[in-house]
Structure 1
Amino acid sequence: MPLPPPPRELLAGRVQYEVPLLNRKVDREKDTPTAALYRMYEHLVVDQHIELRNEIEAFWYHSSWLVRDIPDPKGPDPEQYACLACIPKLLCLAFNKRIDLGLPRDAPPIFTQDMLAEWRAQDRAREQAPGWVDAVPKLEHQLSIPHWDNDRREFVPLDPAEDSKVSREFAENVIIWQPHIHFA
């Protein structure tokens, strides 16, 4: 699998990258956690929030893919590597919210109240970020990933000092709007 381009290249060529990403077909039977991590990275950088959320949901339903077991992608580009390292934190945030509600990773999409009551009575296995995430070097200069501002009809960067929408999971290395990560 060829690696996607670094963030600045994706941002500079957003128009050329956006449609192919939207039209990409994924064989979920042959999918891997690393491939999913890179897809989430691409959707995140080009501001495709619905697709990112869909990838997070698809990862959830691969119940054998524990977040802590995502292999270190050892990204050759420091900014790409910094972005990749934040995604497991987002997965933990999304998944642990569901787990705290009593949903196990292997729960079917449709379930009964009795099933939920049974799951809530069981011990809960919360997700954890893989060890490599904390070892990713801090960037010399924070990367700013603009988001689409519907009122202004353009992509705009966030001011981390003034905007409460900045993602805390990314804040050390990347300034980005907190993506929509929760799903039904």
Structure 2
Amino acid sequence: MAIATTSAALGAVFKRLTGFAPTNSAPKAPSPPTVEWLLAHREQRRAQTVGETPLASLYRMYEYLILEYNAGIRTELEWFFNHPGWAVASIPDPKDPDPARYAILSVIPQFMVTAFNRLIEKGLPRGSPAIIMGDEAEEELKSRPVVLEELPSWVANVPRLAETLIIPDADGSPLDKQNCSPQFLSMNIVVRQPHTLFV
């Protein structure tokens, strides 16, 4: 009897802390936060998505974009760049059931390709050391084959949003077209142009 009561109490605590009822099966990862939730929690500076996979990294970039946390976006981009085995084209299709989140996820790889190829074309391939010591090391990097990044094929199949999604500045200021991202506008999303170039 005491064991059953303790188990029930632990189950209640688990549900209160995580929002999930305990089961005998492996716990299912929570859904990534919606745009609405992120906009309501803009003081947040830590991504809710966990994991060390290309898709988890993409979701963290999505979160940082909505939170308008540019340092988070650039840090995540740099982290992805330093995983040379993670080709942008190989990011799996998230098949996200939330149309707004899916549309945003489909645009982010454009910024990744631009930022990564900018460095690759300058002779800094993915997986390069953080510190390059001397001309010899720099020449060795420049002598490596140039392998440019490409978009994942699934991004072309993500539907444009039927209704305009407006992601305001963190301070609630209206956006003008000069500051809006043309890449996101093509998906009917009004958001400030993110700062995605690094190094």
User: TM-score, normalization: structure 1?
Assistant: 0.84
RMSD: 1.9
Tell me the matched-pair count. 169
> CA–CA distance in 2 between the matches of 1:8 and 1:159?
21
> CA–CA distance in 2 between the matches of 1:7 and 1:31?
22
How far did 1:127 drift?
0.4
1:2 is aligned to 2:30: yes
Residue of 127, 130, 137 corresponding to 1:115: 137
**More helix per residue: 1 or 2?**
2
Aligned residue number for residue 80 of structure 2: 59
2:88/2:152 contact within 8 Å kept: yes
Deviations 1:83-136 (A, max 9, x none): 111111111011011011111102111113322223323331010110001110
1:88 is aligned to 2:109: yes
Aligned residue number for residue 147 of structure 1: 169
Structure 1 unmatched runs, 5+: 149-153
Aligned residue number for residue 96 of structure 2: 75
> CA–CA distance in 1 between the matches of 2:119 and 2:96?
30
How far did 1:6 drift?
1.8
Q: Which has the higher contact order (CA 8 A, sep 6+)?
A: 1
Aligned residue number for residue 11 of structure 1: 39
* Structure 1 stretches of at least 4 aligned residues deviating more than 4 Å after TM superposition: none
The higher radius of gyration belongs to 2
Aligned residue number for residue 178 of structure 1: 193
Residue of 142, 152, 155 corresponding to 1:130: 152
Residue of 170, 173, 177 corresponding to 1:156: 173
Percentage identity across aligned positions? 40
> CA–CA distance in 2 between the matches of 1:147 and 1:57?
24
User: TM-score, normalization: structure 2?
Assistant: 0.78
Structure 2 unmatched runs, 5+: 1-28
SS at structure 1 position matched to 2:172: strand
Deviations 1:23-71 (A, max 9, x none): x796xxx611111111111111011110111001100111100000000
SS at structure 2 position matched to 1:108: coil
**Which residue identity is paired with 2:34?**
P
**Which residue identity is paired with 1:183?**
F
Aligned residue number for residue 106 of structure 1: 127
1:142/1:172 contact within 8 Å kept: no
2:49/2:59 contact within 8 Å kept: no
How far did 1:77 drift?
0.7
1:41/1:83 contact within 8 Å kept: yes
